[in-house]
Structure 1
Amino acid sequence: MSESLSARSRRVAAALERAGITGEIVVLPAAAHTAVLAAEALGVEVGAIANSLVFWSDGEPLLVMTSGAHRVDTVALAARLGRGGIRRATPEQVLAATGQPIGGVAPTGHPAPLTTIVDEDLAAYPRVWAAGGTPQTVFPLTFDELVRLTGGTVAPVA
């Protein structure tokens, strides 16, 4: 693990190592706060970016790992999950739930496990890229590794 990584990214790297995921964290030359910026920096399709979006639902955080190619339909997802509603978490809620800032939320390395939904559309890509704990860091993994890493439920989210 690189000592040049931030403490947040080192926590993510340690979680990846514990999970047996070999993709290493890459530090981008500039922050990539959006899937489009991350895809451009990596030279990949925007759909291969696994956006980590934190929502608030039924009094708790809900992490949705979605393809960068589309938006989450919160009404349809809430109905699919049998939840009272899903709304975007505030920046303060995101930081409290994940220990990571918006634009850099990783699928792992949080203070406690989060209920996670993984977008079924990410399965179309042999390799996906997720944030590494900061807006400047990303790492590669397979769809199956993402599901295993997060303990997530695979579902349509768009």
Structure 2
Amino acid sequence: MSLASVKEFFARHAPDIHVIETEASSATVALAADAHGVEPDQIAKTICLRAGDEVLLLVTSGMSRLDNRKFRDRFGAKPRMLDADEVVARTSHPVGGVCPFGVLEPLAIYCDESLKRFEIVVPAAGAINAAVRITPERMAELTSATWVDVCQPPREAEASEAAQ
């Protein structure tokens, strides 16, 4: 059903964009980058979060890490990840295939500024082996997303990852 809702979304709103289905899983940033021949940062990962009482979708570049302070300053609450069952219940998309397209219930959608570095990004498309190629601006436009700056800058994210 989830892949079907994404295909229906594009058929209605952007028939020029085609869902790419692969044999290989693209459920993680690394797998998706390999499957689609792009750098990991070009994968537009979608995270389903709770900020206080609000459930939202945040789309970031693949290797970006959430900056808790920036998030709290923007949303007034600490970010909380939803568990896999609640993600499916809210979006109809399985973890690894979550995207801002064709979601089950209306959710606020935010795109992080980290996506603007790329001409094309590759978000999932409702299944662990499906994606689309799209400009960040068009993705935001099609999903009525709001642009935010809630991730660590690339150098900080790399240093933080190396320290772990």
Q: Any stretches of 5+ residues in structure 2 without a counterpart?
A: 152-164
What is the CA-CA distance between 1:145 and the residue it aligns to?
Answer: 1.0
What is the CA-CA distance between 1:103 and the residue it aligns to?
Answer: 0.5
The more displaced of 113-122 and 72-81 is 72-81
Q: Is the counterpart of residue 157 in structure 1 residue 143 in structure 2?
A: no
Which structure dedicates a bigger proportion of its chain to helix? 2
Q: 2:132 aligns with which of 111, 130, 139?
A: 139
CA distance in 2, matches of 1:139, 1:145: 12
- RMSD value, Cα: 1.4
Which residue matches 2:155? none
Letter of the 1:55 counterpart: L
Which residue matches 1:46? 40
CA distance in 1, matches of 2:52, 2:94: 22
What is the CA-CA distance between 1:85 and the residue it aligns to?
Answer: 2.0
Q: Any stretches of 5+ residues in structure 1 without a counterpart?
A: 1-6
Letter of the 1:34 counterpart: T
1:10-30 deviations in whole A, cap 9, x for unaligned? 210111222225221111122
CA distance in 1, matches of 2:112, 2:16: 22
CA distance in 2, matches of 1:120, 1:52: 13
Q: Is the 8 A contact 2:74 2:150 kept in 1?
A: no
What is the number of equivalent residue pairs in this alignment?
Answer: 151
Identical-pair percentage: 30
Structure 1's consecutive aligned runs of 4 or more residues displaced over 6 angstroms after TM superposition are none
Q: Is the 8 A contact 1:21 1:141 kept in 2?
A: no
What is the CA-CA distance between 1:69 and the residue it aligns to?
Answer: 2.0
1:52-86 deviations in whole A, cap 9, x for unaligned? 110112223110001002111233212123x2221
CA distance in 1, matches of 2:63, 2:35: 16
Which residue matches 2:12? 18
Q: Does the residue aligned with 1:110 lie in a helix, a strand or coil?
A: coil
